[in-house]
Structures are given as C-alpha cells and as structure tokens.
C-alpha cells in the first residue's frame, strides 16, 4: 500500500500543489527539460522526492465509468481559473496539437469543480476518486494525502519563519493545533457537489405567472413600485365644432382662423373629420405648446373624452347637442365653454342670448370679395376675435385643473355659480 501511495499520480499532484513545488512536463525521464504539454511524455514531480510519471498514466479519477489520464488532470488544474467556455476551447486546441496521439478529457462543470477542490486540499474525499488498492474506503486516500501534505508543507513554512533548517519545536506545537480552512467552494457546496438544477423546475411556474401579470396588477399589489413610474402623458384637449352648414367656422377654415387669426369662408368640399392645431397656453405651460384636437361630432368618443372637451362652437341650433353627453345647453355650458361666431352688425340668435354667460359671443367682419375695393377693411379685427377665443379657452382649462404635466382634475362648471363663470370667462362678448 505504501508503494502504491508513493507513486500514485493524484497524490503526487496534490502533495506538490500543497508544498508549492515544481511540476514539469518533460519529453523523457533523462532530459528533465520542460516542454509543451502536447510534446510531453512524462510529468516530473519534485516533492516529496524527484520522480517522473508517464503522462498517459490512468488515475483513480473516474468519469462516466472510465479512468481519466494524468495529462487531462494536470491540464484541468492549469486551467482552474478560466471559465468553462475558455477551458473547453483550450482543450480542443491541445487535442489538435496532439494530432490523434492522445486526447484530453473535457470535464463537466461538477467534475472539474470536485477535482480542483480535492487537489487544493479543501476536501478530503471525492465521489469521483476511487480509493487506493488495499484501502477499506475512500477516506483512507484522503487521510493519507492530508498527512503527506501536512508533513510536506508545514516544515517548509516553519523553516522559512524560523530561518533554520529544522522545525522549531515551539512552532510544531502551534502547527499541530491548526485547523485547515476550506475555500469558497467547500463553504458553499460542502465536501460533495450539489445539483441545483431541480430548483429551476420549482421556480418555472412562479416566473411564468410573474411574466403574465400586467404592470397595473404588479403596481397595485406593491404600491411602492408606483413611486418609480414615469408620470402619465398629458392628454390632448378637445374642441367640438358645429356641423351646421350655416356655421362660419367649419373644418375647412377653422385651422387657419385659430392659428393665423384671419377669416376665410369655409369650403364645403372638405372631407376632413379631425384636425390638430398647437397653441402655447402661457398660464398652463409656457415651455411646451398644447395640441388641440378639433372634431365636428362625438361619434368616436369614449366616455372619458368628455372630460377633455374645453370648447364647443355653436350656431345656436340645439339639434347639434342631441348626441352629446349633456344634451341640454344649460348643462353643456356648465361643463364646457360655448363659442358663437357671427357677422359683425348682425344680432346673435335668440337661443345664444338665452344661454347667457356660458357662451362667448364674438363677431367677425363680413366677408367681401377680395377683388372689390375696401374688401380688406376691418380684417385686422379677426386676430382680435381669435385672441379673445383663446383667452376664454385658457381660462376655462385652468378652472378644470389643466396643468403643465396633467389634464383636468374635475369637470368644469361643477360647484360654480353664474358670477364665477363670468370671472372665469372674462369679457364674454367681443364686438
């Protein structure tokens, strides 16, 4: 048993690693010169005594029922610090250099970890290493290796500390009481490798359930997550136009009037059903213009859109409001600003006058053929009317709670009396 232990490749490799002695690949036992691993025929150890072992020798490490050769064991130790993909790539390159004369065994992750842990001395047993011939169990191999390692390594350290060639008796007492500490592999996995692949199967249902949850459900289950969410986008305010053919402002000319402040007659050939215009409301957001949506009817409205309606252009005809949320004009103009645009000098319809301060009454100069003399006289007042309309719309939006980064917080007109609506709309009549 002693002879087999002295010449066992695994024990020699472990003892040399523990003692920090040289391990040299050589081309022949007589030369002693180091050569690349692909050219080596022997592995020379200097501890505990100089000896050369054939590099193709089979070891007691068994993988998939077959013993692993010494070259593969030593190659795995040399590449103990590299990741698995790099280790496999290096093994492939070495096999190419061997050109079929031999092949380096590629260890699985658990086998490689177990081998390195045992060679470092962090573990005294391994399920992949068979016991030495004549031993009763695998612990004998580990105990023999531990004893040999201690005898080889401790005197060397003590000699360095004492400065003498023999072990200081006082240090020998200290060394005998030392406890050998393991590395992170031993602490985390113990003396035997543990397979955690079963945890993936247990976690799979929970991960699938989490991925299927909508963001709103996750936030509602954990309100603290909402603190990190981005604020919701400010909605676009809506302006409703009158679909009546007698209306002075239709889809064909409302954009030029509200943007440039110049009135032109409507073009009945227009087929547009929705327009977008931008306007900077300085008392709401002076940095970014608001985008307004202009439509003639609420056919495509969702219920929440009504809270975004900031103005309703009307000709005084009540049939316009039949499909509205508030079909009665008195209710409608408590929630949204009414806007009537007529010809200068013509009286407003009786209905508009009866609706009172909920409707802004404005007048523009009558249209004349541009080719006639004096056609442009008074057109400068168009801008004045346009600015008055925007001023009233902005006041209405502020009263509904429009802010720089958010939409309305309440429906306009709730809890307001007639005098409050007067102050909100300012001067309601622009002649």
Three-state DSSP at 293 gives strand
d(CA 356, CA 361): 10
Does residue 144 sit in the same domain as residue 44? Answer: yes
Residue 382, domain CATH = 3.40.50.11990
pLDDT band (50, 70, 90) for residue 30? confident
Name every residue whose Cβ is closer than 8 Å to that of residue 135 and which is 6 or more positions away in sequence: 1, 141
pLDDT band (50, 70, 90) for residue 70? very high
Does residue 159 sit in the same domain as residue 271? Answer: no
Query: Within 10 Å of residue 68's Cβ, how many Cβ atoms?
Result: 22
What pLDDT is recorded for position 390?
A: 92
**Overall average pLDDT of the 196-224 stretch:** 66
Does residue 286 sit in the same domain as residue 366? Answer: yes
pLDDT at 223 over 60: no
Range with the lowest mean pLDDT among 199-213, 308-322, 360-374, 412-426?
412-426
pLDDT band (50, 70, 90) for residue 184? low
333 is a domain residue: yes
Does residue 280 sit in the same domain as residue 152? Answer: no
Q: How many helices (H) and strands (E) does the chain have?
A: 15, 12
What pLDDT is recorded for position 222?
A: 52
Instruction: State the total domains in the chain.
Output: 2
Check: CB of residue 114 under 8 Å from CB of residue 124. Answer: no
Does residue 182 sit in the same domain as residue 292? Answer: no
pLDDT band (50, 70, 90) for residue 135? low
Q: Percentage of the chain surpassing pLDDT 90? A: 12
**Overall average pLDDT of the 376-405 stretch:** 86
Does residue 287 sit in the same domain as residue 416? Answer: yes
Task: Pick the more confident residue, 158 or 264.
Answer: 264
361 is a domain residue: yes
Task: Pick the more confident residue, 84 or 379.
Answer: 84
What pLDDT is recorded for position 428?
A: 38
Residue 289's nearest CA partner among 159, 167, 390, 419 is: 390
d(CA 21, CA 27): 19
Does residue 44 sit in the same domain as residue 168? Answer: yes
Does residue 58 sit in the same domain as residue 181? Answer: yes
Q: Quote the tokens at residue 51.
A: 């000896």
Cα 191 to Cα 18, 125, 142, 196, 197, distances in angstroms: 18, 7, 12, 15, 18
211 is a domain residue: no
Cα 308 to Cα 59, 149, 401, 412, distances in angstroms: 82, 83, 11, 10
Does residue 178 sit in the same domain as residue 287? Answer: no
Question: What is the per-residue DSSP string for 162-215?
Answer: H-SSS--HHHHHHHHT--PPP-HHHHHH-SS----THHHHHHHHHHHHHHHS-H
Examine the fold and report which residue of 189, 221, 250 is the final residue of a domain before the chain moves on.
189
Cα 294 to Cα 240, 322, 372, distances in angstroms: 6, 19, 33
Residue 139's nearest CA partner among 154, 123, 153, 151 is: 123
What pLDDT is recorded for position 236?
A: 87
pLDDT band (50, 70, 90) for residue 424? very low
Check: CB of residue 274 under 8 Å from CB of residue 293. Answer: yes
**Overall average pLDDT of the 17-45 stretch:** 87
What is the per-residue pLDDT across 350-369, written as a single tens digit (0 to 9) for each?
888 888 888 999 988 888 77
227 is a domain residue: no
What is the per-residue pLDDT across 300-351, written as a single tens digit (0 to 9) for each?
888 888 888 999 999 889 899 888 988 889 888 888 899 999 988 888 888 8
Does residue 253 sit in the same domain as residue 112? Answer: no
What pLDDT is recorded for position 275?
A: 87
Examine the fold and report which residue of 148, 174, 189 is the final residue of a domain before the chain moves on.
189
Residue 367 structural domain: 238-430
230 is a domain residue: no
Q: Count the alpha carbons within 13 Å of 45 in the hemisphere toward its beta carbon.
A: 24
Does residue 185 sit in the same domain as residue 259? Answer: no
CA 266, distance to chain mean position in Å, is 51
The alpha carbons of the chain give a radius of gyration, in whole angstroms, of: 46
Does residue 251 sit in the same domain as residue 398? Answer: yes
pLDDT band (50, 70, 90) for residue 185? low
285 is a domain residue: yes
Residue 243's nearest CA partner among 305, 293, 312, 309 is: 312
d(CA 168, CA 155): 9
The b-or-e profile of 300-318 (16+ CB within 10 A means b, else e) is ebeeebbbbbbbbbbbbee
pTM of the model: 0.43
205 is a domain residue: no
Q: Which residues pair with 69 in a beta bridge?
A: 58
204 is a domain residue: no
């Amino acid at each position: 048993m002693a002879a087999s232990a002295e010449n066992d490749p695994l024990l020699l490799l472990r003892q040399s690693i523990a003692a920090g002695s040289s391990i040299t690949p050589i081309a022949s036992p007589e030369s002693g010169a180091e050569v690349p691993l692909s050219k080596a025929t022997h592995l020379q150890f200097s501890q505990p005594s100089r000896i050369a072992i054939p590099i193709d020798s089979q070891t007691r490490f068994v993988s998939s029922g077959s013993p692993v050769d010494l070259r593969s064991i030593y190659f795995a130790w040399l590449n103990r610090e590299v990741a698995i993909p790099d280790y496999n790539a290096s093994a492939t390159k070495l096999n190419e250099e061997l050109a079929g004369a031999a092949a380096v065994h590629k260890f699985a992750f658990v086998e490689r970890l177990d081998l390195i842990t045992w060679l470092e001395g962090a573990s005294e047993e391994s399920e992949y290493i068979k016991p030495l011939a004549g031993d009763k169990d695998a612990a004998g191999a580990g105990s023999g290796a531990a004893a040999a390692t201690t005898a080889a390594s401790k005197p060397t350290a003590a000699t360095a500390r004492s400065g003498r060639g023999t072990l200081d008796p006082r240090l020998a007492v200290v060394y005998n009481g030392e406890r050998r500490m393991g590395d992170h592999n031993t602490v985390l996995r113990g003396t035997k490798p543990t397979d955690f692949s079963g945890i993936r199967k247990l976690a799979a249902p929970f991960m699938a359930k989490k991925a299927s949850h909508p963001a709103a459900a996750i936030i509602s289950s954990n309100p603290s997550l909402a603190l990190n969410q981005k604020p919701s986008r400010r909605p676009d305010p809506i302006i409703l136009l009158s679909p009546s053919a007698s209306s002075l402002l239709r889809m064909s000319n409302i954009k030029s009037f509200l943007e440039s402040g110049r009135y032109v007659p409507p073009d009945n050939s227009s087929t547009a059903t929705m327009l977008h215009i931008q306007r900077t409301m300085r008392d709401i957001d002076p940095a970014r213009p608001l985008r307004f949506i202009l439509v003639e009817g609420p056919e495509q409205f969702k219920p929440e859109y009504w809270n975004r309606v900031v103005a309703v252009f009307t000709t005084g005809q009540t049939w316009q409001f039949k499909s509205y949320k508030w079909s009665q004009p008195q209710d409608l103009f408590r929630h949204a600003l009414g806007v009537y645009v007529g010809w200068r000098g013509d009286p407003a319809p009786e209905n508009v006058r009866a609706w009172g301060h909920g409707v802004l009454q404005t007048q523009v100069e009558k249209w004349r053929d541009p080719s006639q003399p004096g056609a442009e006289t008074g057109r400068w007042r168009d801008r004045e009317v346009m600015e008055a309309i925007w001023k009233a719309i902005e006041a209405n939006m502020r009263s509904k709670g429009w802010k720089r980064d958010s939409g309305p917080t309440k429906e306009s007109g709730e809890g307001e009396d007639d005098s409050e609506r007067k102050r909100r709309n300012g001067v309601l009549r622009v002649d």
